[in-house]
């Protein structure tokens, strides 16, 4: 087993302020709970395993216990036109709280006719039927993650392996805007979180569909 089982259900408030389509910041708060059933993570995953993948149900052995959490979020966005329809983007973020505390910075290039900080600023300042591609990196230094090690103040986790503090991700994505709809798809190739992991990198896909009203 590479990871402990963990559920994370939360409410988030975040206010974004942009001085231009390329520069801005955000601050926010997260409040929520962990727990297998309290977050609905175990029943939702097993529903997917049973009816979509046709696999046996998972027992969720050694999952991180239920606890309430509060996190503070701060982010800074920057970007500029590099050449014609090529833009350089960067984003720095700081999370401080009982669920996770880390600092991360990401940077890369955006190619296409979307004329704003598209992956980090969903302001829809674009012509209809516009598309862009993104290729970049993310470096992250983690001070603490409840999902990996349990509570920072007391030992309540049955998963006892030490987390690697520094993590690197390669990101490739596409963003498509049509009328008031926005589709974001991002492929992530992430380095190890623990030395015991069998593979050097973990690849996964994130899809976000948004609509502005």
Residue whose pair of structure tokens reads 């103040």 in the numeric block: 153
142 pLDDT above the threshold of 90: yes
3 pLDDT above the threshold of 80: no
The pLDDT confidence band at residue 119, using thresholds 50, 70 and 90, is confident
Query: What is the rounded average pLDDT of the residues 167-194?
Result: 92
- Tell me the C-alpha to C-alpha distance, in Å, between residue 119 and each of 15, 103, 149, 158, 205: 16, 18, 30, 37, 15
Query: Homologous superfamily of 8-211 in CATH?
Result: Outer membrane protein (2.40.128.140)
126 pLDDT above the threshold of 70: no
Domain chopping of the chain, boundaries:
8-211
């Amino acid at each position: 087993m590479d990871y402990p089982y963990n559920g994370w259900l939360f409410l988030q408030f975040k206010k974004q302020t942009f001085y231009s389509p390329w520069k801005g910041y955000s601050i926010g708060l997260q409040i929520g709970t962990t727990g297998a059933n309290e977050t609905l993570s175990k029943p939702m995953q097993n529903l997917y395993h049973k009816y979509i993948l046709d696999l046996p149900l998972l027992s969720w052995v050694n999952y991180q216990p239920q606890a309430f959490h509060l996190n503070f979020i701060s982010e800074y966005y920057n970007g500029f036109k590099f050449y014609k329809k090529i833009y350089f983007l960067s984003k720095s973020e700081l999370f401080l709280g009982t669920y996770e505390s880390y600092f991360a910075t990401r940077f890369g290039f955006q190619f296409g006719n979307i004329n704003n900080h598209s992956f980090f600023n969903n302001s829809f300042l674009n012509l209809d039927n516009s598309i862009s591609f993104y290729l970049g990196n993310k470096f992250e230094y983690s001070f603490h993650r409840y999902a990996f090690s349990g509570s920072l103040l007391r030992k309540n986790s049955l998963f006892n392996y030490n987390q690697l503090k520094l993590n690197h991700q390669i990101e490739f994505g596409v963003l498509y805007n049509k009328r008031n709809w926005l589709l974001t798809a991002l492929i992530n190739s992430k380095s190890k979180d623990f030395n015991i992991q069998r593979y050097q990198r973990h690849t996964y896909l994130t899809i976000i569909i948004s609509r502005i009203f």
